[in-house]
Chains A and B, each alone.
Chain A
């Protein structure tokens, strides 16, 4: 029976990627290369040079490799293919391939394995598989109750994971995501929301302003917003003060996510339409465990002719059930500058007790009409950070943006 041969690891690699001399010849088709250049594209260049010269396919002159001639085929390459298919090749080629350590006789492999015959071994090897020698050894049992070394999967940042889940939930509930610029004009952040220019929030202590900043642009609806503030629209008295466009043009980092709702309304929302935003907001708050100068607000709007106060409660109830996972809820009166009527909802969380979950209201007509929206718009907001902190076992709001890799590696995703 003729000797059977097996490809070595190197042989298998060349079978897949081509012999070095083959790859060199391919690279030289475009013209001569320096040794350095060839080295970057051809693995094992030394082997390639050795066989290329020996066969008279290349010559080295003036530090460059030149192509002398391209053979029709490289016999070793063909032979390698044949061996891999279990076919016999000429004695000469067999000798060369063995010498180049690209193939190895099965008998040699078996010989190496011989001393293990009948013994208990730990490691099952590829040689045992290719020769069938595995049948002649006994594989030692392990203590399968012992775990391997502790490793940690890479994953989403925990707070981001929470927000992604929330985003998915809101999308499932039929809401479209709104996005908008980090730097806003006061117009979109306040004026368009019918917050008067003398509103207590519009000062140094509640709003960040920008250093040396020029003024932003006002949209066309600004003239209607001005009217709403000064004289009122839709039967309203308005605030009754002189509206200053320069104040509205001042720039600031977004201080409330509702700015995005104002932009959506001005752009002409779908009706019926449901929108949400997970908006990064900025306020010069005192920094402590419950306040950060940068935080997320989750809020949005619902637009439809048919909306009533009962729907307002209905939306909050839905959020209680679907987002906060609480059943027992309570509605209480609240005040938001841009909604009337306004409602706050608390819910009885199974572990946290009674917590404020969110609030909602119907946008004032002084807000919606100037932006060109004639139907009722419900605005809602959810206090999700406390929920996130609870879920992640945090007591400090700053830890939502954790800087602790060890904690991130170890924390669960549930």
Chain B
């Protein structure tokens, strides 16, 4: 969801009339670009639709608003031929195989227009183009370019030019290590032996995509009258859409789009291709989905107010044209939503559901609730922790060797880097945060742990555990075992205890909890060394038991 900044005044210019902030706010909301923040003339909107890059600039937003207010119907762009050619060298196949280009003339770019152009380029490349990996966009001052243009590759040290906003000539390799954009996007060329390059016929470098333009031709300002636009990347369809979005936005400011001949080794294409796409809308489907009794005429009107064109009707199906800057129309549902928005959500009366269904909470949650009520009855306060934790808390602070766990590859913080595979550490961590609070403290948690398990569909399995602890001057084995016993007896269950050895507990004061000769948990007094690690100065007795097994047994009893 890109966040886009626009100017209130600029919107008025594009819409050709004055608008109050409230009015503009409403219109933007309907265009799925709700206002987030207003700072003087600057309005920050959140463009909700990640598939509508055409709405990521004021030109696109204004166009969308015009459909619903003053100028319904398909927006048609006249195309001229620029006579300019881009020759694509075979070597780009290895690094960045495709480009599509356009020329826009007759421009008058003021500050608002310039900042919108730059912002749109950035947002499209980063949000629609996978952080410039899939799509990079360059805009150049056509007056400084001598066609034909070559899209080719160059050795990292094979050429020198002044990159945008620099004064010194650098080689492409230097740009990657010295220029801010090189540092930011250099990783996209890390594997490349040769770098992609746009260069004109006089040998002036235009850019090293997807990194940086040259300072000479790649700089566009208020005096620029015509621009050359290129998109490069890996998916010709997607990058053509991006080119259409940028070209159409410039055309909204009076620019005239011309096509460019892009010569590949095996074919030549004319870009941009602004031919509208075709879709069908079955009126009965729309009536069914919307539960609105709408005539064909009204339906056409709704479509036109959403920026679509209608070329006819075949067997109850409206033949619809959608603009070439949109690639999100995949299914008639996409048309239907736009029609509903144009109709107005606020004009549709909500209808309550009347379905005969029976509600139920899940068995494990129901059972966890039961156990919680028993624990509370025994005076234990419930606590709730994150399932993410770290090795230090889970193992070393409990005197344990490392164990196999599910670990994040890209944690945001080392504190939350693995999934807990036992629950007791979370409870003890909680107690360690409350050493200043009155003792005794009796707490419990019931929650999931995640265990690696290669036999499972997702190579891991969740287990629901109960962990409880008593901390205070008197917190012995007898206290915790009688609590455990009380819970189990209330569930109609019985467990056995078998002395065992466990590094987290005091030797001779720890037992395995057994049920039908299977181990379902551990109980004992926490080792003073562990308490020291947690900076806890009172004894703790604690236990952890597999609530999932208890549920299975209880269900078996029933």
Q: Which of A214, A333, A362 contacts B454 (CB 8 A)?
A: A214
Say whether A210 contacts B345, CB under 8 Å. no
Looking at A183, A270, A294, which has the most chain B CB atoms within 10 Å of its CB? Answer: A183
Residues of A within 8 A of B372 (CB): 156
Question: Which of A106-114, A115-123, A169-177 is found at the contact surface with chain B?
Answer: A169-177
With contacts A182-B450, A183-B406 taken as known, whether A177 is within 8 angstroms of B345 at the C-beta atoms is no
Q: Within A123-171, which residues are at the interface with B (CB < 8 Å)?
A: 153-157, 159-160, 164, 167-168, 170-171
Say whether B330 contacts A237, CB under 8 Å. yes
Interface residue total, chain B, C-beta cutoff 8 A: 93
Residues of A within 8 A of B348 (CB): 309-310, 313, 331
Residues of A within 8 A of B288 (CB): 308
Q: Which of B365, B416, B462 contacts A177 (CB 8 A)?
A: B365
- Cα distance A315–B350 when bound, in Å? 8
Say whether A341 contacts B337, CB under 8 Å. yes
Question: Which of B105-113, B224-232, B308-316, B441-449 is found at the contact surface with chain A?
Answer: B441-449
- Cα distance A384–B345 when bound, in Å? 23
Q: Within B367-425, which residues are at the interface with A (CB < 8 Å)?
A: 369, 372, 375-376, 378-388, 406-413, 416, 419
Cβ of A203 < 8 Å from any Cβ of B? yes
Q: Which of A154, A173, A203, A310 contacts B442 (CB 8 A)?
A: A154
| Nearest A residue to B131, CB-CB | A203
Q: Which of A211, A286, A304, A366 contacts B355 (CB 8 A)?
A: A304
CB-based A-B contact count at 8 angstroms: 266
- Cα distance A170–B361 when bound, in Å? 9
Say whether B32 contacts A208, CB under 8 Å. no
Residues of A within 8 A of B350 (CB): 310, 313-314, 316-317
A253 CB to closest chain B CB (Å) equals 7
A335 CB to closest chain B CB (Å) equals 4
Residues of B within 8 A of A302 (CB): 353, 355
Residues of B within 8 A of A333 (CB): 29-30, 32, 48, 337, 341, 345
> Do most interface residues of chain B lie in helix, strand or loop, or is the interface mixed?
loop
Q: Which of A294, A337, A405 contacts B387 (CB 8 A)?
A: A294
Say whether B345 contacts A340, CB under 8 Å. no
Cβ of A268 < 8 Å from any Cβ of B? no
With contacts A238-B330, A341-B337, A365-B331 taken as known, whether A314 is within 8 angstroms of B381 at the C-beta atoms is no
A172 CB to closest chain B CB (Å) equals 6
Say whether B345 contacts A214, CB under 8 Å. no
Binary contact readout B20-34 vs A (1 if CB under 8 angstroms, 0 otherwise) = 000000000110101
* Interface positions of A (Cβ within 8 A of B): 153-157, 159-160, 164, 167-168, 170-179, 181-185, 198-200, 203-204, 208-214, 216-217, 232, 234-241, 251, 253, 270, 272-274, 280, 282, 284-287, 292-294, 302, 304, 308-311, 313-318, 330-335, 337, 340-343, 362, 364-366, 376, 400-406, 408-409
**Pairs A–B under 8 Å by Cβ, sample size 15:** A160-B382, A200-B128, A208-B409, A208-B411, A216-B457, A237-B331, A293-B416, A314-B353, A330-B346, A333-B341, A340-B333, A402-B384, A403-B429, A405-B433, A408-B381
* Interface positions of B (Cβ within 8 A of A): 1, 29-30, 32, 34, 48-52, 127-128, 130-131, 134, 235, 237, 280, 288-292, 330-334, 336-337, 340-341, 345-346, 348-353, 355-362, 364-365, 369, 372, 375-376, 378-388, 406-413, 416, 419, 429-430, 433-434, 437, 441-443, 448, 450, 454, 456-462
Q: Which 9 A-B pairs have the closest CB atoms?
A: A313-B350, A341-B337, A171-B359, A308-B291, A310-B351, A236-B331, A183-B460, A272-B355, A335-B49
